[in-house]
Amino acid sequence: MRTVLVLNSTYEPLNVCSARRALVLLLKEKAEVVESSAAVYHSEHSAFALPHVIRLRSYVYVPRRNGARLTRRAIFARDRHRCQYCGSDRHLTVDHVVPRSKGGGDTWDNVVTSCAACNRKKGDRLPHHVGFRLPHAPRPPEAAAFVYLHVDRVHDSWLPYLSFAS
């Protein structure tokens, strides 16, 4: 089923919904099309261009949690499914930058995606002790990273609206 990016009235990414749900929001005039696709949905009496991105007409308040849950899937999404030491996208694991044996915890700023080979090479040492350098300091994911967690593929038309696209 096709998925549609839903933006708040301020163009902040809110959610992902089905194309059918997006059409209902459009027909009820609760949303407007921002980006549409070439695909068309045909009903008995009408035809509608299927949207890729819609924007809600009224603002929806979203309370912010104290941060995203720390899960393997969320860590991989934040790091774009790439080893943070060598760039590989195969045999991925989670590595503690400061090993747990040396007091490192299970926090967003201490875990990164690592391939199995780099994780074995690093072991319970710090990255600089084995010649590894992180491309950037690990941190909690951007607000829009949830999109990677809910869909198999992020449409190119969504990228301008997602903060991690730049």
Q: pLDDT (tens digit, 9 = 90+) per residue, 13-71?
A: 888 899 999 999 999 999 999 999 888 888 888 888 899 999 999 999 877 666 677 88
Cβ-proximal residues to 65 (8 Å cutoff; 6+ apart), any chain: none
Q: For residue range 73-114, what is the model confidence (pLDDT) as tens digits?
A: 889 888 989 999 999 999 999 999 999 999 999 999 999 999
Output the DSSP codes for the chain: --EEEEE-TTS-EEEEEEHHHHHHHHHTTSEEEEEEEEEEEE-SS-EEEEEEEEEESS----PPPSS----HHHHHHHTTT--TTT---SSEEEEESS-GGGT--SSTTTEEEEEHHHHHHHTTS-GGGGT---SS---PPPGGGHHHHH-S---GGGGGGSGGG-
Tens digit of each residue's pLDDT (9 = 90 or more) over 111-144: 999 999 999 999 999 999 999 999 999 988 765 5
Q: What pTM does this model have?
A: 0.57
Separation between Cα atoms, residue 158 and residue 133, nearest integer Å: 31
Domain 72-130 has CATH 1.10.30.50: yes
Q: Is 63 exposed, middle or buried (0-12, 13-18, 19+ CB in 10 A)?
A: exposed
Provide the pLDDT for residue 165. 43
**CATH 1.10.30.50 domain extents, the chain:** 72-130
